[in-house]
Structure formats: C-alpha cells, structure tokens
Amino acid sequence: MDIGAALTIFVTQMLGLSIAAERVTETIKQWLKSKASAPTAVAPAATVPAVPVAAVVPATLPTPQAVAKRTAGYQFLAFLSGMLVVALAHVDPLQIVSHWGAVGKPWSTIHLPRVISIVVTGLLVSGGSSAWNNILDLLSAAKVNNEQIANAVLANANQPPIAA
C-alpha cells in the first residue's frame, strides 16, 4: 500500500471517529445541562420568607476559575467519549495492535496494546472537528502542490496537464 492510500485510510477513520466522539460529547453535555436546569419543587408560599431579589439572583457572569473548571471537565468528557467510540468501533487507525503482534486476539480481550490503542486514539479524536479541519487543509494543500509539480513535469515533456 502506498503512503497516499495509507494516509487517506488513516484520516478517514480518524475523522469518522472524531465526528462520532464529538456527537457523543455534545449529547452528554446537553443531557447534563437539562438535568442541571430541571425545575425543582417549590415550597408553599406561606413558608417562603421574604428575601431581597438581589440575594436570590445569582451572579450573571461565572468566575474565570469556574469557566476553566467547566472547560477542563468538557475536555475530559470529550476524551472519555473518544475512548468509548474507539473501543466500540473496534478500529485501530494507528496500527498499534498490529505492530505489537496482538492481531489474533479478540477485541473483548483486554491487553496492553489494545488499551494503548484505545487511549491514544481516544485522545486524538477528542480534539474535535477543528483539529481535523486543519489536517484536511494540510492534505488538500499537499495534493495541490503534488498536482502542480506533476503538471510542471508534464509541461516539460509536452504532455497535457493532470488537473487544474
């Protein structure tokens, strides 16, 4: 298999896993938000003491520490989602398992190469779509560059160009 085909297979698998992990993460985030904003039972009006509105309304802007904590929690959730998707998909785009000679073992078997493959691939796919958009842009630029080089070679040999 040539390097272009191997790279295409790798990027395709990683992109699919990344999209699936992102969807799982967003679904869990929405579920957690709906649980946090679920209405709670309100005490009868006779037992509720009169409290100034300023004491009841929370601050509208979260502190920077709260934002950092929430962001870290979402990143960890994305990592766990990525590992879950990779484990359920039974793919090894990094070829960690096949290089360590554990190909014959079933996916239900837990062993070090499989765990490393799931953790490393889960970490890579948890980067989200922006990371993969950058990689796809690099691959597109490499393709255009290769076409320009091939067209220059063909122009020197008086052949028609490959693609524009």
At 112-149, the pLDDT tens digits run 878 888 898 898 888 876 777 777 787 778 778 878 88
Cβ atoms of 52 and 162 closer than 8 Å: no
Question: Is 20's pLDDT higher than 80?
Answer: yes
Q: CA–CA separation, 37 vs 30, rounded Å? A: 11
C-beta neighbour count of 16 within 10 angstroms: 16
Kindly report whether the global pTM for this prediction surpasses the value 0.85.
no
Instruction: Give which of 129, 108, 146, 162 is closest to 21, Cα–Cα.
Output: 129
Condensed to tens digits (0 to 9), the pLDDT of residues 62-113 reads 888 988 998 899 889 999 999 999 988 888 888 777 666 555 666 666 678 7
Domain boundaries, the chain: 8-31+64-156
Would you state the pLDDT for residue 115? 84
Region at 86 (left for phi over 0; alpha for psi -120 to 50; beta for the rest): alpha
Summarize the chain as % helix, strand, coil (round to 5): 70, 0, 30
Q: CA–CA separation, 22 vs 122, rounded Å? A: 11
C-beta neighbour count of 81 within 10 angstroms: 23
Highest-pLDDT range among 2-11, 36-45, 47-56, 93-102: 2-11
